[in-house]
Amino acid sequence: MNIRPLYDRIVVKRIDEKETTRSGIIIPDSAQEKPQQGEVMAVGHGKRLEDGTLVALDVKIGDRVLFGKYSGTETKVVGTEYIIMREDDVLGILDSGAETAKKAT
């Protein structure tokens, strides 16, 4: 990927959800809502405060994040769609069960 976000911006790749229902009905792409989860592909250096100090971002490359439906700006690079958004647009970081178990021990 050739995008390097600036300051407190991050680049997110949407994580596609399942295309079928529990009963096996296939939902066409035109009827599906865009997923609000994604994987962080790149992060900026941090947020610049009014006094000039640079504060590091809480998200890091590889994190799975939850974001708002209309967050960020969509862009396409080499056939892959990405969203560039500010860290403030991230609603939360999703933990997997394995990561939570490692932190507990």
7 in Cβ contact with 46 (< 8 Å): yes
For residue 24, tell me if it sits in a domain: no
Distances (CA, A) of 28 to 21, 40, 67: 11, 26, 23
Q: Is residue 23, in this structure, part of any structural domain at all?
A: no
Q: Is residue 94 part of a domain?
A: yes
Q: Does any domain span residue 26?
A: no
| Dist. CA 90–CA 96, nearest whole Å | 17
Least confident of 13-22, 65-74, 76-85: 13-22
CATH number at 81 reads 2.30.33.40
Q: Is the pLDDT of residue 29 over 60?
A: no
Total domains, the chain? 1
Give the pLDDT confidence of 34-46 residue by residue, as tens digits: 668 999 999 999 9
User: What's the whole-model pTM score?
Assistant: 0.72
